[in-house]
Structures are given as structure tokens and as C-alpha cells.
Structure 1
Amino acid sequence: MHIAVFSQYHTNPDCPATSRHYSLLAQLARKHRITLITTRTWERQRLTYEFPWLPEGVTMRAAEVPYENKMGVARRILSFGQYAAYALREGVRLEKPDVIWGISTPLTAAWAAAQVARLRRVPWVFEVQDLWPSFPIAMGAVPNLFAQRRLFDLEKSLYQSARHVLPLSPDMTSYVRQLGISADKVTTVLNGTDLDLAASATSAAVAALRQQQGLEGQQVILYAGTFGRANAIPTLLAAAVQLAPQHPDVTWLFMGHGFHQEIVEQAAATYPFIRLVAPQPRHAVFTWFRLADVAVVSFLGLPVLDANSPAKFYDSLAVGTPVIVTNAGWTKTFVEQHRCGWYSPSEDIDALVFTIATVLQDKNLLRTAGDAGKEVAQKYFDRQQIGNVIEQVLEDAYTHQMTW
């Protein structure tokens, strides 16, 4: 098959990003022809050069469209619109694909995929990475009620026009189903992780990193990811300060960048138990996760965020580091069911401090939860297995078109 992939953000394992689609495209390109329509946003942010920018067998058409987490609403809208216009133009020009795979976020990327699918008369598959427009609306980015209604109408029309929908969490699947989309048209595909890269986080690599960072004798709490508006970073910083008198042997590592970077920098300059770690390439991040005693997966207490599928959740469990989640959605259910982590209510500083203090004083509890996390990661989080499901969905969409 010739598969056209519409994704505004392409990354590879040299980038400080999850690189989900790099793994999936590499797998698909072994059997299929892939054309990726994307931007060069992340290409200049490579931290190493250990991997080719594109998997073998993938060709790319890339627009020069800037984007970063610190952008305001107007600048983000412009970025989304620029990519959508470019993707629509390139989608019409390229050799006719057999099937289109449209990936949001943002929703405008999926819109472009749907328009090209209609114009070229080919089926398209809609991968839902976050719930848009629910998320930006909840964050106050779209205050106009008329605009909100139009966006929700657009969202529903995209679900309806897609041959199949691939949400990245069970809660996203429930949301899509509640809009009247039939169950046989929706398949949950978890974000997952790269187990081959996780295997590089050996005991020797962790020991070397611990020594390099001067963390011998310290218990480590890790937050790794975007310092975004939705990530409750001020709550974590406040919890670190409150915990310190009780546990002077605890160091907090904040790895990443984004909207709240300035307050993390200020906290790291003020308190010796808070450290800002520069973003790491994808292939190196697993050693940092394994170094930690526990990782925190934190978000604001917004219902829409309960459905999300954060990479840090999968990456931490894959190396046997238990997680504390702060959302009352599927991740809470998951860690409680599999006993691989704990739940602490979002933005509740006292509860988070109590949870961390409780689990850090019980090394057997940490070890048992970590072992359970590693076991479930092997069972459910392997991107090779997830890729097999996506490939089957794309092939079925194409086959159905041929027999229709």
C-alpha cells in the first residue's frame, strides 16, 4: 500500500520527544510505501545524531512552520493553520495514496487529512492523541461559545468521515463512542513505548549516571516532560519544598522545558533539592527514568485531562520505576489494578507529599510496584505490537475501499 501520513510534528530518537511515530513508521515501511507530510519543527532540536531523521522507506514533505510550547493562543493558531494549508496542498499534489493516516493533535492536521481523503476519494484513519477541541477549550484558549460549537461540530464530522478511529486511551475511546460512533469503528491503541530503547537502561548505565550527577545516597523523584500549562508544575515545586524538611535525602529532578521553565529554574537556583535537567534525547531518557525511585505524572484537575495518554507514564513503567498519577481517569484505574503505582488527587499538595513520603520509606513496596510495572509494560506497551494493530486497521480500510 501507499500510505500518506499527516502529522504536524515528526521527531526521531535524537529528539527530546516520545518519537512514537518514528517507531511505527519504521515498522510499516518494511512492507508499505510511506509518504509523510509534516513540518521541520523538531529537526533543528536534535540533541544527537545516532538515528537517521527518517526511517528507511519513508519519504517526507516538510513545511517550515515554527511551533513551541511557550507560544500564545494566536501564534499557535497561526502555526496550526499554516501546516493545515501546506498539508492540504501537498496531499493533493502527491501520487494518489491507497489510504491516509491523519494524526491529531492539532485537530487541523486531521482536518487536512480528511479533506485530501475526500478529494482523492480514498479512505482515511483518524488517530486521536488528545481530545480536541475539549482540551484547548478547557484551558481557556477558545472562550467564544460560537467558535466552541463550530469546533465540536468539526470534531464530530471528522469521526464520522474517518473509516476508523484510533484513540490513544480507553477514556478517549469512551468519549468517541459517546458521540455516536459505532464500536466496530473505534480501536484503542495506547501511546506505548520503545522496549528496545528501554533495555539500554542497564544497571551499569544507571550507576554511571548516578555517580555523574552526584546522587549517591539520594532518593530521586523525577518529572520528565513538558513544563506546560496543563502539567501542574507549581504543585510539584510546592510539594518538593514541603517534603524537604521530612526527607532531606530526596532530590527532585525536573527534566524538560516549556511554559513553566522559568519558575523551575528559579526553584532550582533557590533549593538544593530541586534540579533542572536539560531535555534528553529519546534514546537516553530511559536511564534517567530507571535512576528514579518514583516518577510523577501530573496534570491539572480538568476532566478532559483524565483521558490523556502521557509518554512519561509508559516510559517509567517500562524500566521498572513506579509512577504517581494525579488524574482520576484510566491511569488511576490502571496503576491500582496492576499495583504499579499510586494515585494522588490533582493539585492537592498535602496529598502528594503524603503519598511520596509513604512510598519512599518502603523499599519493598517500591520494588514490588516497579516489577509489576515492568511486567505490564512488556504485555501492553510494546510499540511493535501496537504497530501491528495499526497496520491491520490501515489494511482493512484499504481493502474495504477496494471491495466497496
Structure 2
Amino acid sequence: MHIAVFSQYHTNPDCPATSRHYSLLTQIAQQHRVTLITTRTWEPQRLTERFPWLPEGVEMRAAAVPYQNNMGPARRVLSFGQYAAYALREGLRINKPDVIWGISTPLTAAWAAAQVARLRRVPWVFEVQDLWPSFPIAMGAVPSELARRELYKLEGRLYQQARAIMTLSPDMTSYVQQVGTGATSRWAFDPSKVHTVLNGTDLDLAATATDAAVAALRQEQGLEGRQVILYAGTFGRANDIPTLVAAAERLALVCPNVVWLFMGHGYHEPLLRAAAGRCSAIRLVPAQPRHAVFTWFRLADVSVVSFLGLPVLDANSPAKFYDSLAVGTPVIVTNEGWTKSLVEQHKCGWFTPAGNAEKLTERLAEILRNPAQLRTAGAAGQQVAATHFDRQRIGQTIQRILEQAC
């Protein structure tokens, strides 16, 4: 079977990114022919050279389309449009696929996949990584009412046209199903074609975070005898970084033995650099390659997965959530959605409300004074990860969905 994959952002484990599709394509290419239509955005950002850029058996068509997290709305729209035009052209040039896998974000990548599927008369599967356009609209990135209406129409049409839909969380699944089954819906479709396939994590890479690796990293970073809180990921507008900075400065007054590590890059990096300059409990760590982040997570006593208090963000499926639990480090989440339900059900983390630095400080101070509670929660999270978050199993599910669509 020939699978054409439309994804604007390809990464591998040498990049400071989740590399979800690298893991999935590695599995699928063992049995099927795969053509990836993408961009070279991440290739110059490789931090190491331990992994081949492409999984064996994957053919790549890549455009030179730049993209950065700190781009403004207009520049992002240009980037999205450039990739969509390139993907449409290349999708019509490649050998005819048996099925097309269109991955958003952005929504324009899925649009290109849908157009090629229509023109070449093949089925396509829509993977929803974030809820577009609801997310950019909630963030104020689409000020025009006309543009908002048109984007919602495009979203509904794409859901309706896709042979199957894959989402990264149960809350995303509920949202997508409601679009097709709501009383006033113009885009009716069978809700059974929507499947939840979690973001997941790479348990083989998590296993490299050994006791020896953690001890060496702790010594290298001068963290012997210190308790560590880790935020790892994008310093984006949606990640509520100002609240974390406020909580870190508050906590330094009551728990002087604690160090906050902020690992990554993005929009709020200047804010974090200023905070680290005035507060010794805050450290800014450069973004790390995917294969190295697990040792940092295991080094930490607890990690924080934070977002703004917007309902659309409750459905998120962040890689750092899975990666932390995979190495036995419990998490604090700040959203009311499925991640809150999961950590409370399995007792592998805690919830504090988004935007509330005081509550976050109180919660952290409480749990850091109870190492036994941290160990128990961490062990519970590791069990959940082994049972539900393994990308090898998730890849098998995705391959089955693609085969059934074909």
C-alpha cells in the first residue's frame, strides 16, 4: 500500500521536538510504501546527528518554507499558505497513493491533503493534532469575523470529507464528533469514524534515562541535594509562562532548596531570561534533542504542564505530559480537561487552576515536602504510560485505521 503523508513539520529525535511521526512512520514504512510531503523547517535545528533524518523506507518531498514560534499572525499565514501550495503541487506529481494521511496543524495542511485526495480519487484520513481554527481564534489570531466563519466552514467540510478522523485526546474526539452530530450542524458525518489515538511517548527512549545518566546530569548541572521542578517545551503564548515565573519566585521564598528548570525556546524566552537574572531559583536550559529529554524529566521531582485557562486548550495532548510520566516523574496540570481527569483517576499527578500562581505555589510546596507521595505518584504514572502511552501500540492502531480507510 502506498501512503502519502501531508505534514508541514517533520522532525527526528535529534531535534528539540516530540518526533511523534518519526516513530510512527518508522513502524509503518516496514510494511508499506510511504511518501512524506513536508518542509525543511526543522532540519537546520538538529542538535545532534544520532538518527537518520528520515526513517528507512520513507521518501521525502520537502519545501524550504520557514516557520518559528515567535512569528506574528501574518507571517504564519504566509508560511501555511506556502506549504499548502507546495503540498498540493507535489501531491499531484507523486505516484498515485492508495490512501492519504493529512496532519494538522495547520488546517491548511489537511486542506491540501483533501484536495489531492479528491483530484486523484483516493480516500484520506485526517489527523487532528490541535483544534483548528478554535485554538487560533481563542488566542485572538483571527480578528476578522468573516475569516472566522470561513475557517469554521473549512473545518466542517474537512471532517465531513475524510474517510476517517484521528484525534490526539478524548476531549478532541468529543469536540469533532459534536461538529458532525450537533442539532444545527451543517456538516453531518458518522461519529464512529472519529478515533482517539493519543500523542503517546517513546518508551525505548525513556529507558535510556538510567540511574547513572541521571546522576551524571545532576552532577553536571550542580543540582546535588536540590529538589527540581521542570517545565520542558515551548515558551509559547498559550503556555502561561508568566504564571510559572510568578510561582517560581513565590516558591523560592518558602522552599529555598528548590530549583525551577525551564527547558525550551519560544515567545516568552526574554521574560524567562529576565526572571533567571533576578531569581537564583530559576534556570533557563537550552532546548534538548528528543532523545535526551527523558533524563531531564527523570532528574526532576515533579514537572509542570501548563496552559492558559481557555476551554479549547483543555483538549490538548502535550508530549511533555506523556514523557514525564514515562520516566516516573509525576505532573501538575493546569487544565480542566482529560489530563486533569487522568492524573486524578490514576493518582499520578495533581491539578491547579490555570493562571493562579498562588495555588500553584501552595500545591508545589505541599508535595515537595512529601517525598513518599512523589515516589508513589511517579510509580503510578509510569504504570499508566507503559499501559496506554506506548507509541509502538499507537502506531499499530494508526496503521490499521489507514488500511481500513484504503
Whether the TM-score (by the shorter chain) exceeds 0.5 is yes
SS of residue paired to 2:303: strand
Paired residue for 2:390? 382
Do residues 122 (structure 1) and 122 (structure 2) align?
yes
Query: Which of the residues 238, 243, 246 maps onto 1:238?
Result: 246
| Aligned mates of 2:190, 2:280 — CA distance in 1 | 53
Do residues 56 (structure 1) and 53 (structure 2) align?
no
| 1:72-101 CA distance string (max 9 Å, x none) | 000000000000000000000110000000
Paired residue for 1:320? 328
Paired residue for 1:33? 33
CA apart distance, 1:179: 1.0
Paired residue for 1:254? 262
Query: Which of the residues 193, 196, 203 maps onto 1:185?
Result: 193
CA RMSD of aligned residues (A): 0.5
SS of residue paired to 1:342: strand
Paired residue for 2:163? 163
1:76-155 correspondence runs (5 A): 76-155=76-155
Bigger shift: 179-188 or 301-310?
Answer: 179-188
Query: Which of the residues 204, 222, 227 maps onto 1:214?
Result: 222
Paired residue for 1:11? 11
| Aligned mates of 2:386, 2:190 — CA distance in 1 | 30
| Aligned mates of 1:43, 1:2 — CA distance in 2 | 25
| 1:252-295 CA distance string (max 9 Å, x none) | 00000000000111111211110000000000000000000000
Do residues 341 (structure 1) and 349 (structure 2) align?
yes
SS of residue paired to 2:317: coil
CA apart distance, 1:143: 1.2
CA apart distance, 1:173: 0.1
Paired residue for 1:294? 302
| Aligned mates of 1:150, 1:134 — CA distance in 2 | 12
| 1:112-165 CA distance string (max 9 Å, x none) | 000000000000000000000000000000011111111001001000000000
| Aligned mates of 2:142, 2:289 — CA distance in 1 | 33
| Aligned mates of 1:75, 1:98 — CA distance in 2 | 34
| Aligned mates of 1:167, 1:187 — CA distance in 2 | 6
CA apart distance, 1:183: 2.8
| Aligned mates of 1:266, 1:113 — CA distance in 2 | 43
CA apart distance, 1:182: 2.3
With structure 1 as the length reference, what TM-score do the two structures score?
Answer: 0.98
Query: Which of the residues 214, 231, 238 maps onto 1:223?
Result: 231
| Aligned mates of 1:173, 1:219 — CA distance in 2 | 37
SS of residue paired to 1:65: coil
| Aligned mates of 1:391, 1:36 — CA distance in 2 | 15
| Aligned mates of 1:350, 1:271 — CA distance in 2 | 17
| Aligned mates of 1:354, 1:189 — CA distance in 2 | 34
Letter in 2 for 1:161: Q
| 1:30-84 CA distance string (max 9 Å, x none) | 0000000000000000000000000000000000000000000000000000000
SS of residue paired to 2:403: helix
CA apart distance, 1:206: 0.3
1:36-47 correspondence runs (5 A): 36-47=36-47
Paired residue for 2:338? 330
| 1:175-206 CA distance string (max 9 Å, x none) | 01101242320110000000000000001100
| 1:335-387 CA distance string (max 9 Å, x none) | 00010000000001111001101110111100000000000000000000000
CA apart distance, 1:393: 0.4
SS of residue paired to 1:15: coil
Query: Which of the residues 199, 210, 221 maps onto 1:202?
Result: 210
Paired residue for 1:402? none
> Aligned pair count?
398
CA apart distance, 1:2: 0.3
Letter in 1 for 2:115: Q
| Aligned mates of 1:82, 1:270 — CA distance in 2 | 42
Letter in 2 for 1:357: A
Paired residue for 2:185? none
| Aligned mates of 2:66, 2:277 — CA distance in 1 | 30
Letter in 2 for 1:122: V
Do residues 391 (structure 1) and 396 (structure 2) align?
no
For structure 1, list consecutive stretches of 5 or more residues without a partner in the other structure.
399-404
SS of residue paired to 2:254: coil
SS of residue paired to 1:225: strand
| Aligned mates of 2:190, 2:199 — CA distance in 1 | 22
SS of residue paired to 1:9: coil
| Aligned mates of 1:273, 1:353 — CA distance in 2 | 13
| Aligned mates of 2:200, 2:395 — CA distance in 1 | 10
CA apart distance, 1:245: 1.1
Letter in 2 for 1:298: S
SS of residue paired to 2:200: coil
| 1:8-41 CA distance string (max 9 Å, x none) | 0000000000000000000000000000000000
| Aligned mates of 1:179, 1:107 — CA distance in 2 | 16
Give 4+ residue runs of structure 1 displaced > 2 Å after superposition: none
